[in-house]
Chains A and B, each alone.
Chain A
Amino acid sequence: MPLGTLDRDPPPFFRQGPSALSKLAVFSALAFFLMVADVRFKVMQPLRVVLATVLYPAQWLAMRPVLLYQHSSQYFSSLATSQAAQQEVLLKHSLQSQRANQVEQLSLENVRLRKLLGLRERLQAPAMAAQVLYDAADPYSRKVIIDKGMADKVGLGSPVLDESGVLGQVTRVYPLVSEVTLITDRDHAIPVLNTRTGARGVAFGDVSLHVDAMELRFMAANADVAEGDLLTTSGVDGVYPPGLPVARIEKVERRVDAVFARIYCVPLAMVAGAGHVVVLEPTTTQIPARPIPDVVTVVPRRGASK
């Protein structure tokens, strides 16, 4: 038998290294430190960017078989499917064309009326098309990855739309991809406007119903909210341009013992299966800076603090 064929080196007597327990303590402490720095102090984004750049070739490689499968399945999809899709698009187009033809005239009229009233011009948001690559694997949140990043000048906090409504907001930007938090994520809030009544509110992501849904919170129990109301962005946050459709109210629960009504909404965007999306530039850059608040000098009255 040739030498060196057995994996039976005698274990080293003196060079044992640190014990497993001490290693466990050190690395757990390090992981704990990373978590605190990530959640509390938000200082881990540079490390994330570096690791994501290291990881990108692996992700690119893992994406190849997935893309190959998707392309080949598209290639072999039947003629009937594509014809049906085309019919659907044509129908939608003809429905929209009537309204679209009026847009020129309406926007002209709007501009003139606004000038007449001396209002600010509506904010214009430059747009960029992007593609959803895959769902982020974290099962504890609702995020997707899109194929535009720092190289395409995606700004942090940019609103992301799909063809039917607001999809979410860019929350992390990597060199070549970005992470979009969906409007159904538990930590995501979006200011909305009820188009029927004009009442403003805030909609939060809600996954407690085991489906991707939203909840309109802090509406009084006797507020005028009905099933089927359309919620659009109100534009008061300076992030989302006003008037983008967000959700439709599905169910309103009013209880006598609660101050607020429980209002469940269904997002209009395809949060589970969006393919192509539009990334807008946040309107935060266009709105004027906040005025400096007047410095209130409090002069303590004599004898007041006794």
Chain B
Amino acid sequence: MIMRPGQQLLLPANPFFIWGSLIAAMLVNMVQNMGLWGRAAWTPDVLAVVLVFWTVHQPLRISIGGAFVFGLLMDVHQGGLLGQHAMAYTVLSFFAITVHRRLLWFTVPSQAVQVFPLFAVAHAVELAVRMFNSGTFPGWWMLLAPVAEAVLWPVATLVLLAPQLRAPNPDANRPL
């Protein structure tokens, strides 16, 4: 394994934390819908951000199959066409797999710029599928959604990588 210059050695990722964070992201999506913004089209898909994050960082644990299952659950929750999120997340996860070796060599802000096309493609897949099936165009505000997701990338990196950044042997000077 080639180490990047200045790369910090990380603790192993806890599988429970990975799956728990995915479920928590789904809950955040639900709260956005139920309580905050209803059916607004510009809301960032937090689950997509977390899925891409884990696909890039732990491609052996979270891959296209997991993305597909979470996509199906989002479809059932939203009550739209069954399979539209499953397809969008499958495509998203595939592109995340293709960029995962290159992406982590960049700084976090430029990573955010590079994952933006991924989210845009996922939303475009969803839009194409629904327009083909006589859906209502949700308005131009939906262009904000991939931007918001790319903006959330540094936040996701900060939060989801925190457990792996702890000291391997905590003592009195390094409690965490």
Residues of A within 8 A of B (CB): 1-2, 4-8, 10-11, 20-21, 23-24, 27-28, 30-35, 37-39, 44, 47-48, 51-52, 54-55, 58-59, 61-63, 65-66, 69-70, 133-143, 145, 172, 179, 185-187, 207, 210
Kindly state the separation between the CA atoms of A35 and B116 in the bound complex, as whole angstroms. 26
Give the contacting residue for A135; candidates B38, B81, B136, B169; CB below 8 A. Answer: B38
Kindly state the separation between the CA atoms of A38 and B10 in the bound complex, as whole angstroms. 44
Answer whether residue B72 sits at the interface, using C-beta atoms and an 8 A cutoff. Answer: yes
Cβ contact within 8 Å between B65 and A35: no
- Assuming the contacts A5-B168, A31-B86, A137-B77, asked whether A58 and B91 have C-beta atoms less than 8 A apart, the reply is no
Cβ contact within 8 Å between A66 and B31: yes
Cβ contact within 8 Å between A138 and B30: no
Cβ contact within 8 Å between A20 and B12: no
Contacts of B81 in A (CB 8 A): 35, 38-39
Cβ contact within 8 Å between A7 and B13: yes
Contacts of A143 in B (CB 8 A): 79
- Assuming the contacts A62-B31, A139-B41, A141-B135, asked whether A7 and B164 have C-beta atoms less than 8 A apart, the reply is yes
Cβ contact within 8 Å between A35 and B84: yes
- The contact size tier of chain B is 35 or more
Answer whether residue B121 sits at the interface, using C-beta atoms and an 8 A cutoff. Answer: no
Given A23-B94, A141-B136, 4 more pairs with CB closer than 8 A: A7-B13, A34-B86, A38-B82, A138-B78
The stretch of B103-111, B126-134, B148-156 in contact with A is B126-134
Query: DSSP class of B's interface residues: helix, strand, loop or mixed?
Result: helix
**Binary interface encoding of chain B residues 1-20 relative to chain A, with 1 for a CB under 8 A from any of its CBs, else 0:** 10000000111110000000
- Assuming the contacts A38-B83, A137-B39, A138-B78, asked whether A1 and B142 have C-beta atoms less than 8 A apart, the reply is no
Nearest residue, chain A, Cβ from B59: A20
Kindly state the separation between the CA atoms of A139 and B134 in the bound complex, as whole angstroms. 13
Closest beta carbon of chain B to A4's beta carbon, Å: 7
Cβ contact within 8 Å between B86 and A145: no
Contacts of B114 in A (CB 8 A): none
Kindly state the separation between the CA atoms of A47 and B73 in the bound complex, as whole angstroms. 11
With contacts defined as CB atoms under 8 Å apart, how many contacts are there between chain A and chain B in the complex? 159
Kindly state the separation between the CA atoms of A297 and B67 in the bound complex, as whole angstroms. 58
Closest beta carbon of chain A to B46's beta carbon, Å: 12
Kindly state the separation between the CA atoms of A242 and B82 in the bound complex, as whole angstroms. 34
Closest beta carbon of chain B to A164's beta carbon, Å: 20
Cβ contact within 8 Å between B34 and A66: yes
Kindly state the separation between the CA atoms of A113 and B9 in the bound complex, as whole angstroms. 89
- Contacts A/B (CB < 8 Å), 5 sampled: A51-B76, A55-B73, A70-B35, A137-B78, A139-B40
**Contact residues, B14-70 vs A (CB, 8 A):** 23, 26-27, 29-31, 33-35, 38-41, 60, 63-65, 67-68
Kindly state the separation between the CA atoms of A10 and B1 in the bound complex, as whole angstroms. 8
Contacts of A30 in B (CB 8 A): 68, 83, 86
Kindly state the separation between the CA atoms of A33 and B68 in the bound complex, as whole angstroms. 13
Kindly state the separation between the CA atoms of A61 and B63 in the bound complex, as whole angstroms. 27
Kindly state the separation between the CA atoms of A62 and B26 in the bound complex, as whole angstroms. 9
Cβ contact within 8 Å between B82 and A44: yes
Q: Indicate the member of A8, A24, A185 with the most B CB atoms within 10 Å.
A: A24
Give the contacting residue for B12; candidates A4, A11, A33; CB below 8 A. Answer: A4
Q: Indicate the member of B26, B35, B40, B136 with the most A CB atoms within 10 Å.
A: B136
Kindly state the separation between the CA atoms of A187 and B134 in the bound complex, as whole angstroms. 8
Contacts of B30 in A (CB 8 A): 58-59, 62
